[in-house]
Amino acid sequence: MFIVNVEGAICRDDKWLVITRSTKEEHAGGTLSLVGGKVDVEGNALEILERTVKRELYEEVGIEIKDAVTFVYSSSFVTNDGCNVINMVFLCEYDKGTAHSKSPDEVEAVHWMTYDEIMNHPKAPLWTKESIRRVALARR
């Protein structure tokens, strides 16, 4: 059984929306990340991944995105406590809102950073860099 996680990548004025994950988070606390979260069980549902991306962006940082989201890639990992996770990254288009930490237990800080700033940041793990690399290519 897998946990399904989604992340949304938004670029405005050549800067990407990333967060510093709260140090309270069990997985990758204190690191740079795209905004995202777990898919809730909904039974029979349409566009569950897309709706989850929209929900997580709004719940965590107060950003609303346009309806169309583009799947970029998926990966899997195992958490420290042995849970298998499928992670899916989506390219999203900003609609409205001012990015801020609405959920301090999940988001320590919100940043708009350039591609190079993220790639050179000491708290950017390899998987975040890979996601930014792939969404930047998909955006072209």
CA distances (Å), origin 80, targets 25, 28, 49, 50, 85: 12, 10, 24, 27, 11
CA-based nearest residue to 119, from 134, 100, 99: 134
DSSP codes joined into one string, 74-109: EEEEE-TTS-EEEEEEEEEEEEE-----S-TTTEEE
Bigger pLDDT: 81 or 122? Answer: 122
Percent of the chain at pLDDT > 70 equals: 97
Question: CA–CA separation, 42 vs 47, rounded Å?
Answer: 11
**HEC string of 36-73?**
EEECCCCCCCCCHHHHHHHHHHHHHHCCEEEEEEEEEE
Tens of pLDDT along 63-120? 999 999 999 999 999 988 889 999 999 999 999 999 999 988 889 999 999 999 999 9
Question: CA–CA separation, 139 vs 31, rounded Å?
Answer: 24
Averaged confidence pLDDT in the chain: 92
